[in-house]
Structure 1
Amino acid sequence: MKKLAIIALMLLGGAAAASAAQITFAETPAQAFESALAKNQPILITFYADWCGWCKKLDTVTYRNDSVAALANEIVFVKVNAEKDTAMSHKYGVAGFPTVVMTKSDGTEIDRIYGYAGPKEFLTIIRDYQAGRNTLPSYLAQAESAPTPALYYLIADKYIGRKKFVDGEKYLNKILELDPNNEKGYSDSALSSLADMKTRAKEFDAAKAAYKKLMESYPQSGLVDNALFGIAAVNRRAEKYDDAIAGFKLFMSVYPQSELVPDAAAYIAICTEKKGDTATALQMYERYLIDFPKSEDTTWVKSQIQRIKNPPADQKGK
């Protein structure tokens, strides 16, 4: 009987702990702002999408942590489906999911977390933001008195994450001006970030130019392989499929041991299908499973094989 009582207490204790780790989210952004103003508290706006796996992990792991959940005593939490509430997503320049934006009670942004963060990392970042550490304003203030390539890179990253590409480019260029020989190790990263930013802005020629400059200016950089891959990827985004295929093949021949080789092989198949050669694309997908059986993309590749072999009834024979 005593043993059963102990077990019962343990179960009750576990239930209480689970209950304690539940965050009550405001039902709407308007409700969150109203509550935050009334309590004079900051807000954490979690932008998510229904299909986003990392968003689900943020919910089931980070937000179920006791220490993170305790933040709800001093911060108002709200979730926003960014693909449905596009106005809010546009207002805060959300570029990916999940994005957690911390604001003042009036909605003015303090800073944000891009992507998934585990409980410990999440809590550390939020505490820093509450104290005014590692925020965009704090970095800008530091740069006024002691500019460094590292600091400029952090500032550029903050702006790019907000889709403020003009400001981001300004600070990436400051890095190149301050350290043209890449002695501090940030100029190659600046060019890579510039290329990525230009790709997202669909300025494809500018993106390829940045990648090429990286390869030519810093041939010893550890980012040269990524730049070569990036040029092919930009051509794919620009729907220049022949150039993309040639670029991915070149990458695979120059860097056969790169961890990006499976991605290059998959993109070649994708581009081949985009060109209308479904039969060859199917062979490439099947070959992919033989060459890269341990790739994390095998499930997706199998789905492409099934899609090609079993098209919807209204597409058969087309």
Structure 2
Amino acid sequence: SGYEDALEEVMGEEKPLILYFHSESCEWCKKLDSEYLTSYEVDQFLSNIPKVEISSSEEAPEKALYDKYGVSGLPSFFVLIPSMDSKPAKSISPFKKGNHMTPDEFISAIKRRIHTTITIKDIPCSRISSMKRPSNTMK
């Protein structure tokens, strides 16, 4: 399938993979397509990143991917680096909280997700376990 092929393409490298869960009847999916994914800026930025579009379906392979990534609403747009993480923290949406991002802001959100994943991976495990939370100084 497209998912396995894309996974194989990036596995073993620190390359991102886009998973886009959508439905033909989803109005927000149509909006994501028309306002973001087909915009020149976003299209150019994503041109070298493997993308997998996963349509809503009750078919076993698609349903398994929805379950694996915890998809609870559409559209769901994940950026992950399979060689470094098994499950992305959350979907990126340009429509959150009624404040729509511009295409450039959407690209920045994708870049932040890629950078955050790589940065977290580079912190040694011993350092993560020794990190302390700041104490609450407010009373």
TM-score (normalised: structure 1)? 0.32
The aligned runs of 1:174-213 (5 Å cut-off) are: none
The answer as to 2:134 corresponding to 1:146 is: yes
Identity %, equivalent residues: 23
Q: Give the equivalent residue in structure 2 for 1:30.
A: 4
Contact 2:19 2:54 in 1 (8 A): yes
Q: Deviations along 1:198-253, whole A, 9 cap, x unmatched?
A: xxxxxxxxxxxxxxxxxxxxxxxxxxxxxxxxxxxxxxxxxxxxxxxxxxxxxxxx
Q: Give the equivalent residue in structure 2 for 1:113.
A: 92
For residue 82 of structure 1, report the CA deviation from its aligned partner. Answer: 2.9
User: Which one of the candidate residues 38, 44, 63 is aligned to 1:86?
Assistant: 63
Q: Give the equivalent residue in structure 2 for 1:43.
A: 17
Code of the aligned partner of 1:68: V
For residue 76 of structure 1, report the CA deviation from its aligned partner. Answer: 1.3
Which structure would you say has the larger RCO, counting Cα contacts within 8 Å and 6 or more residues apart? 2
Q: Give the equivalent residue in structure 2 for 1:62.
A: 36
Contact 2:79 2:114 in 1 (8 A): no
Taking structure 1 as reference, are residues 86 and 127 closer, same or farther at Cα in structure 2, changes over 3 Å only?
Answer: same
Please tell me whether Structure 1 or Structure 2 has the larger radius of gyration of its CA atoms: 1
User: Which one of the candidate residues 102, 105, 114 is aligned to 1:130?
Assistant: 114
Contact 2:94 2:106 in 1 (8 A): no
Taking structure 1 as reference, are residues 145 and 58 closer, same or farther at Cα in structure 2, changes over 3 Å only?
Answer: same
TM-score (normalised: structure 2)? 0.68
For residue 136 of structure 1, report the CA deviation from its aligned partner. Answer: 9.7
Q: Deviations along 1:251-274, whole A, 9 cap, x unmatched?
A: xxxxxxxxxxxxxxxxxxxxxxxx
For residue 67 of structure 1, report the CA deviation from its aligned partner. Answer: 2.1
Taking structure 1 as reference, are residues 97 and 115 closer, same or farther at Cα in structure 2, changes over 3 Å only?
Answer: farther
Distance 1:100 1:41 in 2: 16
Q: What runs of 5+ residues in structure 2 fail to find an aligned partner? A: 96-100, 122-127
Code of the aligned partner of 2:22: Y
Q: Deviations along 1:282-315, whole A, 9 cap, x unmatched?
A: xxxxxxxxxxxxxxxxxxxxxxxxxxxxxxxxxx
The answer as to 2:78 corresponding to 1:98 is: no
Distance 2:24 2:134 in 1: 43
More helix by share: 1
Q: Secondary structure at the match of 2:57?
A: coil
Taking structure 1 as reference, are residues 118 and 32 closer, same or farther at Cα in structure 2, changes over 3 Å only?
Answer: farther
Contact 1:98 1:115 in 2 (8 A): no
The answer as to 2:72 corresponding to 1:72 is: no
Taking structure 1 as reference, are residues 115 and 73 closer, same or farther at Cα in structure 2, changes over 3 Å only?
Answer: closer
